[in-house]
Amino acid sequence: MKRRKFIERSLVMLAQFGVMGGIFRRAKAELKDYDPSKHYYGMGIQINKCIGCGKCVEACKAENGVPKEPFFFRTWVERYVIKKDNGVTVQSIDPRIERSYEAFAEKDILRSFFVPKLCNQCENPPCVQVCPVGATFKTADGVILVDADRCIGCRYCIQACPYGARYLNPETETADKCTFCYHRITKGLLPACVEVCPTQARIFGDVKSNASPLARFKRMNKIHVLKPSLNTEPKVTYSDLDGEVR
Amino acid sequence: MKNFFQRFPDSLIRIGAVFLLFVSAILFVRFIIPSSLKNEEEHVKATIERETSRSVRYAGSDVCADCHEEYNVKKLGYHRNLSCETCHGPAKEHSENPTETKPVVPKKREACSLCHTYNPSRPTGFPQINPVVHNPLKPCVTCHNPHDPKPPRVPQECQACHAEIARTKAVSPHVQLECTTCHTVPQQHKVIPREVKASIPGDRTFCGKCHSKDSPAKETPKVDISTHGEKYLCWQCHYPHMPEVE
């Protein structure tokens, strides 16, 4: 962004904040019966169960108003094909087009599987550290949120995220990402992607709870996270994770 | 107007102007800029409020139970893990106002084949068909109840459910062998396959029936099963449905 344009926009935005601030001061919809300090959320993903139907991607877009184009995602599903000649291809599948994925001769395939991805809601989030205006932060229940009103659309966080989980929303020109469907989970509903998953490849829950599907998932499986060497400590954990998954 | 200003000394006007600017700056910062932009705590609170007040579009399966019989039908069938809204799309609005808005009813074949088309990346064991040859042209719902999708009759061939294995075997050296040569299959396996299992050969001597040096079988390649392959089971090296020799 040019400096002049930036200043122009920030002036316009400041004025908008003023108006919005007024509105929000009145519309204080306090959530009753919800105490964020009593929760700490995480998600488990069983790769062996994912059938790559893309229902999660579709539901996420519908629930959160993510633009329909296939390069804006809060959650997405990658198809990995590891060929016998050791070549690896990764494609993001598009649920709108039935067989959008490239076809491979079956005899050339060594292994193949789907990997659902989303924001890892890291314990040590690099995106929070780089934000120059403090627009993104971690809530008491462990979810990383973006304040679209504060965000200036500089894209630092998009660059900093090692998982490619953020995108610049073309409508608001601010950074956007998965919130674990914060508006749903605070009302006791499941995130939309978990709600519609037909095979329960996604398991959502409280990492603090000892008797929950998530706790059981972690006890019964060998668990990995993506890019553990970066020390981001993701709260999204995977079972059956192949060594080729990046 | 001009006269009015001329009545004051020049310096007083300047001081006045500076003072006015100063006051309006304070007023601007104090009242126009919302406190959520100045105060960290307010900012976090405002963002959380904004997120939690977003509207929910997926109601969750249990809501449908109040009005629809399908809920109890689905609960026991193969689609028990599918949420109603996995197929019918977001239906929160419908559940609050059933006569005004209707969820989509996916009657087309494509809606089913999205999940059930054979794809080598899908986990083995997930029921898959080839929509080109599986009763083409007719909508799937003419034969399968979408809320309790049993195969409409008990299939006799193993191929109906183990298509991938059958296809593999069909081009392998074992093409002449019936599935039942190696597997004992109770009739009930074809009705409730997960409860009644087919048997799997137990040890090396099983393959030895045809492949050991002293076997009466003709035209089978022979090995000395007491030394060949050492302590391993034959199928740790040769996939029984496609016994390759490399």
pLDDT tens, B176-195? Answer: 889 999 999 998 888 788 78
User: Which chain B residues are within 8 Å of A29, Cβ to Cβ?
Assistant: 49, 52-53
pLDDT at B73 over 50: yes
Give the chain A residue whose CA is nearest to the CA of B43.
Answer: A147
In B156-187, which positions are buried (b, 16+ CB within 10 angstroms) versus exposed (e)? eebebbbbbbeebbeebebeeeebeebeeeee
Q: Can you give the C-alpha Rg of chain A in angstroms?
A: 19
Q: How far is B176 from chain A (nearest CA, A)?
A: 21
Task: Indicate yes or no: CB of A63 within 8 angstroms of CB of B90.
Answer: yes
Q: How far is A147 from chain B (nearest CA, A)?
A: 6
Task: Indicate yes or no: CB of B34 within 8 angstroms of CB of A59.
Answer: no
3-state DSSP assignment of residue A157: helix
Could you read off the pLDDT of B140-150 as tens digits, one per residue? 999 899 998 88
Task: Indicate yes or no: CB of A189 within 8 angstroms of CB of B37.
Answer: no
Task: Indicate yes or no: CB of A184 within 8 angstroms of CB of B56.
Answer: yes
Show Cβ contacts of residue B20 under 8 Å, excluding neighbours closer than 6 positions.
Answer: none
**In which band, very low, low, confident or very high, does the pLDDT at B158 lie, cut at 50, 70 and 90?**
confident
Backbone phi, then psi, for B154, in 5-degree steps? Answer: -75, 120
A–B: how many Cβ contacts below 8 A?
138
In B50-89, the residues whose Cβ lies within 8 Å of chain A are 50-58, 60-61, 79, 81-83, 85-86, 89
Instruction: Determine the Cα–Cα distance for residues A91 and A74; give it in Å rounded to an integer.
Output: 16
Q: How far is B34 from chain A (nearest CA, A)?
A: 5
Instruction: Determine the Cα–Cα distance for residues B179 and B146; give it in Å rounded to an integer.
Output: 31
Instruction: Determine the Cα–Cα distance for residues A29 and A186; give it in Å rounded to an integer.
Output: 13
Distances in whole angstroms, Cα of residue B120 to Cα of each of A87, B128, B138: 16, 10, 25
CB B117 within 8 A of CB B129: yes
Give burial (CB, 10 Å; 0-12/13-18/19+) of B11: exposed
CA angle, A207 then A208 then A211, to 5°: 90
Instruction: Determine the Cα–Cα distance for residues A232 and B132; give it in Å rounded to an integer.
Output: 46
Give the chain A residue whose CA is nearest to the CA of B39.
Answer: A134
**In which band, very low, low, confident or very high, does the pLDDT at A28 lie, cut at 50, 70 and 90?**
very low
CB-closest option in B54, B85, B110 to A195? B85
**In which band, very low, low, confident or very high, does the pLDDT at A153 lie, cut at 50, 70 and 90?**
very high
User: Which chain B residues are within 8 Å of A137, Cβ to Cβ?
Assistant: 44, 47
User: Which chain A residues are within 8 Å of B241, Cβ to Cβ?
Assistant: none
Distances in whole angstroms, Cα of residue B152 to Cα of each of B14, B138, B149: 92, 14, 8
**In which band, very low, low, confident or very high, does the pLDDT at A30 lie, cut at 50, 70 and 90?**
very low
pLDDT at position B243: 82
CB-closest option in A98, A106, A113 to B114? A98
Please check whether residue B43 touches A, CB under 8 A.
yes
CB-closest option in B51, B60, B122 to A182? B51
Backbone phi, then psi, for B117, in 5-degree steps? Answer: -65, 135
**What percentage of residues in chain A have a pLDDT greater than 90?**
62
pLDDT at B202 over 90: no
Please check whether residue B125 touches A, CB under 8 A.
no
Instruction: Determine the Cα–Cα distance for residues A171 and B233; give it in Å rounded to an integer.
Output: 60
Decide yes or no: CATH 1.10.1040.10 for domain A1-71+117-246.
no
Give the chain A residue whose CA is nearest to the CA of B40.
Answer: A134
pLDDT at position A51: 93
Task: Indicate yes or no: CB of B36 within 8 angstroms of CB of A99.
Answer: no
DSSP string, A14-65: HHHHHHHHHHHHH---PPTT--GGG--EEEEEEGGG-----HHHHHHHHHHT
Q: How far is A83 from chain B (nearest CA, A)?
A: 12
Q: How far is B69 from chain A (nearest CA, A)?
A: 20
Task: Indicate yes or no: CB of B33 within 8 angstroms of CB of A54.
Answer: no
Paired sense of beta strands A236-239 and A41-46, if any: parallel
Instruction: Determine the Cα–Cα distance for residues A194 and A57; give it in Å rounded to an integer.
Output: 10
pLDDT at A59 over 80: yes
Which residue, among B174, B181, B183, has the nearest Cα to B241 in the 3D structure? Answer: B174
Neighbours of B16 (CB within 10 A): 12
Could you read off the pLDDT of B28-62 as tens digits, one per residue? 888 887 776 778 888 898 899 999 999 999 998 88
Task: Indicate yes or no: CB of B115 within 8 angstroms of CB of A53.
Answer: yes
Instruction: Determine the Cα–Cα distance for residues A110 and B88; give it in Å rounded to an integer.
Output: 36
Which residue, among A160, A196, A242, A240, has the nearest Cα to A53 in the 3D structure? Answer: A196
pTM of the full structure: 0.76
Measured in residues, chain A has a length of 246
**In which band, very low, low, confident or very high, does the pLDDT at A102 lie, cut at 50, 70 and 90?**
low
Give the chain A residue whose CA is nearest to the CA of B126.
Answer: A51
